C-alpha cells in the first residue's frame, strides 16, 4: 500500500524585508502518527493573518518560526485518530495543526465545533477574530454610547467586527483603511459613520474632519505605525487606546521607523490610557462571547466579511496580499473538502 502524502507550507527563507511568496515552499512528507495525548487531523480550512508574519519575524508570545518549519496556525479540521479520551474520529475541531493537509494537535486543546454551513466562520467571526473584537472593544475599550471611536485596519478580520460592535454599543464609528472601495463598504454596509483612506495625500486632514472638534474617545488600534501617529493627536483628553495589534511593524521591521514619534509627551498632556491585551487573557469567558456574537449575527446586527481562497498553494500569496491591504475581512484558504 502506498503511504499517504502530506502537503505542507514551510518557511523556506527568513525575509529581510517585506515578505514574498518565494519565502515559502510547498513540500511533501508522510502523514504523521499521533503521540500520547495527540490527535491526527485532516485540515479543511486555515487562515492567513498578520500574526503569522510576526511569528516569522521574531519571538512573540510563541517561538519564532524556524526555516523549514511548517507555518503554524489554527485550522478547522476533521479528527482522523487519537486517544480514547479525546475527540472521536470524524469530530470537527479548531486545532493548532498549521498550514498542512494532515497535522498533529494537542487533544486537550482541540475545540470541537458544530457541523454546519459556515465552517470557515470558526476562524473568523465565530473564532479568534470575533473574540478579539468582542473583548478588545467591550472589555478593554469599555466603549460607551455616544462616544467617538476610531478603528484602524477597519475592514480587516478583527477591525470590521470591532467597528460594528462599537456601533451596536451606540458609538459614532470612524474607520481607517487603505482604499476608497473598502471605505464605501464600511459606511454603506457595516454602519460606520465615516471612513478615511490612509493612503490619501489628505489623510491627516480627512481624519481630523471625520473625528471632529471633540476628539476621539476611543481608538481601537490594529496597526501602530504612522496610522497610530496620526490618530493620537486627535484623541480627546482622557481618551482610551486599545492596543490590539502592530501590523505596521510586522513586515520588514528593519525598514520601519521605531516610532510613533513624539508620543510620550502627547500621552501625558492628553492623559491617555493605552491598554494592550491578548485575547487569551479572556479564555474563561469565550463561551459568553460566542453566545453574544451568534445573537448579533442571527439578529442581523453583525455582518461578517470573509474571503476564502482555494487550496494550500494559495496561502503564500494570500499572506503577501493581506499585508499589502489586498484582502477584506477574514482571509482563509480551503485545504481539503468538507467531511462526507
Ligand atoms: N491582541 C490580540 O489578542 C490579537 C488577536 C488577534 C489579532 N491581533 C492583531 O490584530 C491585528 C489585526 O489582525 P487581523 O487578523 O484582523 O488582520 P487584518 O486587519 O485583516 O489584516 C491586516 C491589515 O492591516 C492593514 N495594514 C497592513 N500594513 C499596514 C501598515 N503598514 N500600516 C497600517 N495598516 C496596515 C491592511 O489594511 P488596510 O490596507 O485596509 O489599512 C491589512 O489588510 C493584527 O495586528 C493582529 O496581530 C491581536
More confident residue, 239 or 225: 239
Q: What separation in Å is there between the alpha carbon of 323 and the centre of ligand 1?
A: 8
Q: Return the residue whose CA atom lies nearest to atom 44 of ligand 1.
A: 245
- At residue 249 the predicted structure's pLDDT band, cuts being 50, 70 and 90, is confident
- Bridge partners, residue 7, by sequence: 28
**pLDDT digits 0-9 by tens, 75-117:** 999 999 999 999 999 999 999 999 999 999 999 999 999 887 7
Residues 6+ apart with CB under 8 A from 144: 169, 170, 171, 217
pTM for the full predicted model: 0.95
Beta-carbon contacts of 66 under 8 Å, excluding residues fewer than 6 positions away, are 11
Q: What are phi and psi of 281, to 5 degrees?
A: -60, -25
Q: What is the pLDDT of residue 59?
A: 84
Q: Which of 208, 203, 212, 176 is nearest to 192 (CA)?
A: 176
Atom of ligand 1 nearest to the CA of 246: 45
Give pLDDT, residue 56.
Answer: 93
How much of the chain exceeds pLDDT 70, in percent?
A: 96
Residue 113 neighbours by CB under 8 Å, 6+ apart: 76, 92, 93, 94, 119, 122
Q: Which atom of ligand 1 is nearest to the CA of 154?
A: 40
Rounded Cα–Cα distance for residues 332 and 121 (Å) = 9
C-alpha distance from residue 23 to each of 7, 51, 155 (Å): 17, 16, 26
Q: How confident is the model at residue 263 (pLDDT cuts 50, 70, 90)?
A: confident
Task: Enumerate residues lining ligand 1, CB below 6 A.
Answer: 49-51, 128-129, 132, 153, 155-159, 177-178, 182, 198, 222-223, 225, 227, 244-248, 277-279, 322-323, 325, 327
Return the pLDDT at 26.
97
Section 239-251 average pLDDT: 93
Tell me what pLDDT residue 257 has.
52
pLDDT for 17 equals: 87
Residue 173: per-residue pLDDT: 98
Q: How far is CA 291 from CA 12, 26, 130, 136, 302, in A?
A: 41, 38, 11, 16, 13
Mutational pocket test of ligand 1: of 55, 138, 153, the residue with most ligand atoms within 8 Å of the beta carbon = 153
Q: Give the integer Cα–Cα distance in Å for 340 and 90.
A: 10
Q: Which of 330, 140, 316, 120 is nearest to 221 (CA)?
A: 140
* pLDDT tier at 258, thresholds 50, 70, 90: low
Which residue from 209, 197, 204, 226 is spatially nearest to 148, judged by alpha carbons?
A: 209
The whole-chain average pLDDT of the chain stands at 94
Atom of ligand 1 nearest to the CA of 280: 3
How far does residue 227's CA lie from ligand 1's centre (Å)?
Answer: 12
Phi, psi values for residue 252, rounded to 5°? 90, 55
CA of 308 to the centre of ligand 1 (A): 17
Which residue has a Cα nearest atom 29 of ligand 1?
Answer: 248
Among the ranges 10-19, 191-200, 223-232, 264-273, which has the highest mean pLDDT value?
A: 191-200
Cα–Cα distance measured from residue 34 to residue 57, given in angstroms and rounded to the nearest whole number: 29
132 Cα nearest atom in ligand 1: 5
Q: Which atom of ligand 1 is nearest to the CA of 326?
A: 43
The rounded Å distance from CA 179 to ligand 1 centre is: 15
pLDDT at 227: 95
Q: pLDDT per residue over 4-62, tens digit each?
A: 899 999 999 999 889 999 999 999 999 999 999 999 999 999 999 999 999 998 888 88
pLDDT at 264: 73
Amino acid at each position: 500500500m502506498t503511504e499517504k502524502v502530506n502537503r505542507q507550507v514551510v518557511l523556506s527563507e527568513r525575509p529581510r524585508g517585506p515578505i514574498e511568496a518565494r519565502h515559502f515552499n510547498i513540500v511533501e512528507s508522510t502523514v504523521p502518527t499521533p503521540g500520547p495525548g495527540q490527535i491526527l487531523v485532516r485540515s479543511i480550512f486555515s487562515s492567513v493573518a498578520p500574526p503569522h508574519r510576526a511569528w516569522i519575524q521574531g519571538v512573540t508570545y510563541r517561538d519564532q518560526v524556524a526555516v523549514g518549519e511548517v507555518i503554524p496556525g489554527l485550522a478547522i479540521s476533521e479528527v482522523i485518530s487519537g486517544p480514547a479520551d479525546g475527540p472521536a474520529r470524524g469530530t470537527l475541531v479548531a486545532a493548532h495543526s498549521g498550514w498542512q493537509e494532515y497535522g498533529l494537535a494537542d487533544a486537550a486543546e482541540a475545540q470541537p465545533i458544530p457541523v454546519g454551513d459556515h465552517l470557515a466562520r470558526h476562524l473568523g467571526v465565530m473564532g479568534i477574530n470575533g473574540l478579539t473584537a468582542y473583548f478588545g472593544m467591550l472589555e478593554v475599550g469599555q466603549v460607551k454610547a455616544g462616544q467617538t471611536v476610531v478603528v484602524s485596519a477597519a475592514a480587516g478580520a478583527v477591525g470590521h467586527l470591532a467597528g460594528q460592535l462599537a456601533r451596536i454599543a451606540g458609538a459614532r464609528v470612524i474607520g481607517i483603511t487603505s482604499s476608497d472601495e473598502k471605505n464605501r463598504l464600511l459606511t454603506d454596509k457595516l454602519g460606520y459613520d465615516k471612513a478615511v483612506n490612509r493612503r490619501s495625500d489628505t489623510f491627516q486632514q480627512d481624519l481630523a474632519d471625520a473625528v471632529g472638534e471633540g476628539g476621539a474617545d476611543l481608538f481601537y488600534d490594529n496597526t501602530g505605525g504612522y496610522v497610530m501617529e496620526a490618530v493620537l493627536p486627535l484623541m480627546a483628553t482622557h481618551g482610551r487606546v486599545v492596543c490590539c495589534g502592530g501590523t505596521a511593524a510586522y513586515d520588514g521591521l528593519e525598514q520601519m521607523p521605531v516610532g510613533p514619534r513624539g508620543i510620550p509627551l502627547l500621552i501625558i498632556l492628553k492623559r491617555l490610557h493605552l491598554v494592550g491585551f491578548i485575547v487569551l487573557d479572556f479564555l474563561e469567558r469565550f463561551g459568553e462571547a460566542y453566545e453574544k456574537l451568534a445573537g448579533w449575527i442571527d439578529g442581523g446586527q453583525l455582518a461578517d466579511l470573509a474571503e476564502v481562497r482555494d487550496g494550500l498553494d494559495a496561502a503564500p500569496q494570500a499572506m503577501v496580499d493581506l499585508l499589502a491591504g489586498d484582502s477584506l475581512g477574514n482571509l482563509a484558504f480551503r485545504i481539503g473538502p468538507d467531511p462526507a
